[in-house]
Structure 1
């Protein structure tokens, strides 16, 4: 069989792994590249195989970097089946439609403002093209084999990363290939712990935090401190949120703090239509997370939920101190940019970063103490205080990734470290070799291997 790394290798975005076996072609994830321009430009490149030749797409979860290229794949000729869990189907639908809407809006703004490098800016795909993907989804049950072919089957197991996220065990040619997807944490605020694989001849393991350990800091205490300090100075707190899971985790912690009377009685605003919709997915899939339905209802009552962009404008120009959660989590687009255009230069503003920031994103630049940030063709001075709460990450850290391998009953033939920047992947490679003695490799984008 041949395996080709089309994305998510040497980077945390654009996850796509192609498997060709006995005339069957399978794509594990179909993610969009984010971050530095060189990566984003890959979104416009055709795949090295015809999309029409791909029989199946298996989705680990619904984040943009794992499902966000599906509309392009379908537009270029894919007509097979897309297998995933029920929550992943719902999340991917929201993510793709939101992505398409943002791209259409940004292309329109670029054309009006004449700040595109192209004569006419175009979206990567349209809302209509995103909608064309939806009939192709096939929902699977966790733990039950899905027969893709007479001799090829796939089993999905809970990965604990976001609602619906799974690892995938693919059995073919008398081998078991395990694709970790993104692995969550054993002590996540909302998600259940990830299931560790017991067998696997070849492991494809994410390495996002392969060179880092999450601090043992109390995320609730950090939120409490940053919010109280900011409101005391009549400032506004901006929390760029990943609309799936991170937004809900932050809502939950803020709700707890408010109940405990540890944060002030100011407006708490949730300004992400997709994040609001994800709350409904949590309500419809109670077995996938720790929150009872009554807690979700009470938590939501604390927030002013904004869907209409006119209300966003009103919230931005409301001068009273407030706490705003808005997408996107890496500041690559979405309504958080509208808030930043107004508040970024103010010293009374606090920005709380709560998740991984890919290389080249505005979020990473803020964490790297950039003096100014470019948004929608203009540069804005950074006057705001920028904080990071690493302990809120939805990804396993280095120790968590090592522990995920601990249940294997036999030594795998090889472990491939994907979905990580080079330094993180290479350090994890050394740690795996030291602890388990496994043969590890860090593949490059475009690399092909034969098994």
Structure 2
């Protein structure tokens, strides 16, 4: 048996891990690379093996960095089953369609504006290619053994993080391999705590926040302070948000503040068609989250929900101060760019970053104090105030990740530290070795191990 790290190694994007056992090939996650150009260009590269030779895909959850390369995989010949939970199926379909539409739109704009370095800009995949993925989704139940092949099985267990997110225990050749996926927080606003593994010969553990401890901060009070101060100064609040879980968490917290009389009376806009659709997924999957159905319905009434791009334009030129939640969370594309093109150069504007900002993304540039950012081929000066609320992250921090290993009955043979940049991965390795004396390895993309 051997494992090859095709993506998600020393980076937080492009998660793809290939497991080969007795001629059977399993791909755990099939994510899209985001961030710096060198990583994004990997999306155009072929896999080290033919997609047609992969027997199945196991999908931990529906975020783009875990599912966003599936259309390429299918278009290049993969026709096996894609195993995932029911909420992950729903969310992945939304995310892949949204991603395809954004890529089509951006390719069209690049061609019209002639700012692409290529003679003709093309999307990584289009809507038709995204839709060809959908018939391959095969829904699994939480905590139920799924037979993949005669002597290989898998069990999906709740990982917190976002709706439907799972860790996967894979049983093959008498060994148990546990793939963490993205681990949520013990005290998340909407998600239940992640389920910890009990047995594992090999662990593949994410390390997104492997070097950080989330601050003990009153998120609601911070939102109240930032919004009230900005609105009273006649400015707009722009919150780039991941459409899945983060947007719903923000809506819930803002609704609570409104019910408590702690927010100014201005328009509150949710401009992410996918985020609006995810609300329906929340309502259909009550067992996967803490949000009561009644609250889910009530909080939705507070927001002006924008789905049509013409409504986006009208909102942008509405002179009233307002609060806008718009995708994408790392400012890599989507509707939030249209708002920032208008507002990033105004000193009255406040941009609140509420999630992990990967290396090379506009969100990371803003966080690090960039004086200007490039959007759609043009540079825009940054005069807006940029703040971060780290307490809204859906990722577990270093303590959460170390604690996730605490129920293991015996030491695993190896812990592979994945899905993290170099510093977080190294810091997590040191903590795990100090706490448990487990052998940890930080693989690089393309590396193969016999196990």
Pairwise TM-score range, normalised by the shorter structure: over 0.9
Distance in structure 2 (CA, Å) of the matches to 1:189 and 1:387: 21
Distance in structure 1 (CA, Å) of the matches to 2:23 and 2:7: 22
Deviation (angstroms), 1:2: 1.3
Distance in structure 2 (CA, Å) of the matches to 1:309 and 1:100: 16
Distance in structure 1 (CA, Å) of the matches to 2:374 and 2:435: 43
Distance in structure 1 (CA, Å) of the matches to 2:106 and 2:262: 39
Alignment of 1:347-386 (within 5 A): 347-386=347-386
Distance in structure 1 (CA, Å) of the matches to 2:220 and 2:302: 17
Deviation (angstroms), 1:368: 0.2
Deviation (angstroms), 1:292: 1.0
Distance in structure 2 (CA, Å) of the matches to 1:129 and 1:348: 42
Alignment of 1:103-252 (within 5 A): 103-252=103-252
Alignment of 1:227-306 (within 5 A): 227-306=227-306
Residues 372-424 of structure 1 show CA distances to partners (whole Å, capped at 9, x for unaligned) of 00000000000000010001100000000000000000000000000000110
2:18 counterpart SS class: strand
2:177 counterpart SS class: strand
Alignment of 1:7-26 (within 5 A): 7-26=7-26
Consecutive aligned runs of 4 or more in structure 1 exceeding 6 Å deviation = none
Residues 250-304 of structure 1 show CA distances to partners (whole Å, capped at 9, x for unaligned) of 0000000000011101000000000000000000101110111111110000000
Alignment of 1:354-433 (within 5 A): 354-433=354-433
1:325 counterpart SS class: strand
Unaligned residue ranges in structure 1 (runs of 5+)? none
TM-score by length of 1: 1.00
1:446 maps to 446
Distance in structure 2 (CA, Å) of the matches to 1:218 and 1:182: 24
1:70 maps to 70
Length, aligned pairs only:
451
1:37 maps to 37
Distance in structure 1 (CA, Å) of the matches to 2:427 and 2:284: 40
Distance in structure 2 (CA, Å) of the matches to 1:218 and 1:77: 49
Deviation (angstroms), 1:427: 0.8
Distance in structure 1 (CA, Å) of the matches to 2:349 and 2:260: 24
Distance in structure 1 (CA, Å) of the matches to 2:235 and 2:427: 40
TM-score by length of 2: 1.00
1:332 maps to 332
Distance in structure 2 (CA, Å) of the matches to 1:94 and 1:117: 30
Distance in structure 1 (CA, Å) of the matches to 2:236 and 2:121: 34
1:90 equivalent to 2:58? Answer: no
2:342 counterpart SS class: helix
Unaligned residue ranges in structure 2 (runs of 5+)? none
Deviation (angstroms), 1:139: 0.2
Deviation (angstroms), 1:150: 0.9
Distance in structure 1 (CA, Å) of the matches to 2:193 and 2:10: 26
Distance in structure 2 (CA, Å) of the matches to 1:284 and 1:144: 20
